[in-house]
Amino acid sequence: MPKWLLTPLVGAAGGWLASLIGWPLPWMVGSLLAVIAVRCIGNLPLAEVPGARKCGQWVVGVGIGLHFTPAVIEQVLANSAIILVGAVATTLSSVIGISLMLRSGEDRATAFFASMPGGASEMVNLGKRNGAVLSRVAAGQSLRLLLVVLSVPALFQLFVGVPAVQHQAASVDWGWLALLLAGGALLALLMQRFHQPNPWLIGPLLVSAGMSIAFDLQLGLPQGASQLGQWLIGSALGCHFDRAFFKRAPSFIARTLLATSLGMAFAALAAELLGWLDGLDHRSLMLGMMPGGIAELSLTAEALGLSVPLVTALQVLRLLLVLFLAEPVFRRWQKHKTHA
């Protein structure tokens, strides 16, 4: 029997249980925890369903893009300076993690690429090119995403004053949705062919957002589509963790979790300051500045009734900053060390 056959069933059971207790993003968090529990406690070798995460990102990317309208994008562009400052500030917060890891004896490359707040698979590739310990870079990136997925939605719901909202069903046009899904898949395949980052999320998001703005679509996904995307992504993420993962380097895990927590606190304080200076909704700004993934934080914004375009813009801009600047900055740092 294929190892992945039980994964969606375990994930669905976890998502259903989480929805019963009212947990935010229940189908992502519940499926993630259920798969981790079965792999760690039950020691069953559940595997990722082939293509499941890509499929989940595809659906979620189209859904995120439908939140972009001409009026919303005008507001985002009007606040582009503050969005750039927020993205730069949270990128610089990676210095916290780098410092903690260097103090504990990690080499420069491992500390640097394991601490970058985004682009997990790309950071592993860059780490490989620059002599990092790949298992630790991958572990650091996976742990950061795990902590954000498990804690950020709940913390925002409990402490930041954004209770989960019941969304009105948006109008569904199957013709437009078929076109958006097909166009998103084609762009994702093209981006994948040229090794672009996160193609199955960003490709559909760009197509959906572009069409939504151009034609002012005012559409939404059909009922249950967002939960389907959450379930597929959460079940796939859970397969990255097992008993051996948590036993391998407990001190490294503790340092990564501490650095991520400090980075989240820094992002919260910076967002409060920027929101006060510019008048933007500090809650959406704070969520967008959290370290994590675009899909997970945009879904959190949607679930809590915050500005999905603002959160997405911050996350995409920070991803671009990390992807384009991480390696040049690291090599300059190494050159400076050599000359010193």
pLDDT of residue 72: 84
Q: Sort residue 171 into left (φ over 0), alpha (ψ -120 to 50) or beta.
A: beta
Instruction: Indicate whether 254 pLDDT > 80.
Output: yes
* Mean pLDDT (the chain, rounded): 88
pLDDT at 163: 57
Reading phi first (left if > 0) and then psi (alpha if -120 to 50, else beta), residue 222 is in beta
What's the CA gap between 21 and 16, in Å, rounded? 9
Cα 261-157-93 angle, rounded to 5 deg: 25
Q: What is the mean pLDDT of residues 324-332?
A: 91
Which long-range contacts link 279-286 to residues 24+ away (Cβ below 8 Å)?
280/79, 280/82, 280/310, 281/306, 281/307, 281/310, 283/156, 283/160, 283/161, 283/162, 284/310, 284/311, 285/82, 285/86, 285/310, 285/314, 286/160
Q: What is the mean pLDDT of residues 145-158?
A: 87
Q: Considering Cα of 118, then 120, then 125, then 127, what sign does the dihedral take? A: positive
Residue 34 has pLDDT above 90, yes or no: yes
pLDDT of 161 higher than 80 = no
Give the mean pLDDT of 248-277.
89
Q: Please determine, for residue 306, whether its predicted confidence score (pLDDT) is greater than 70.
A: yes
Q: What is the pLDDT of residues 171-207, one digit of tens each?
A: 889 999 999 999 999 999 999 999 888 899 999 999 9
pLDDT of residue 289: 92
Q: How far apart are the first and last CA of the chain?
A: 58
Question: If pLDDT is split at 50, 70 and 90, which confidence band does 1 have?
Answer: low
pTM of the complete model:
0.89
In single-letter form, the type of residue at position 291 comes to P
Contact 238, 32 (CB under 8 A): yes
pLDDT band, residue 78 (cuts 50/70/90):
confident
- pLDDT tens-digit series, residues 116-150: 988 888 898 899 899 999 888 988 998 998 898 88
Token pair for 206? 């760009």
- Of the two residues 159 and 105, the one the predictor is more confident about is 105
CB-based contact 101:127 (threshold 8 Å): no
The number of residues making up the chain comes to 340
Q: What's the mean pLDDT in 221-232?
A: 92
Q: Residues with Cβ < 8 Å from 292, sequence gap 6 or more?
A: 117, 118, 144, 145, 148, 149, 152, 315
For the chain, percent of residues with pLDDT exceeding 90: 51
The confidence score (pLDDT) of residue 279 equals 77
Query: Which pLDDT score, from 0 to 100, does residue 116 have?
Result: 92
Distance of alpha carbon 269 from alpha carbon 305, whole angstroms: 21
CA distance 81 to 36: 40
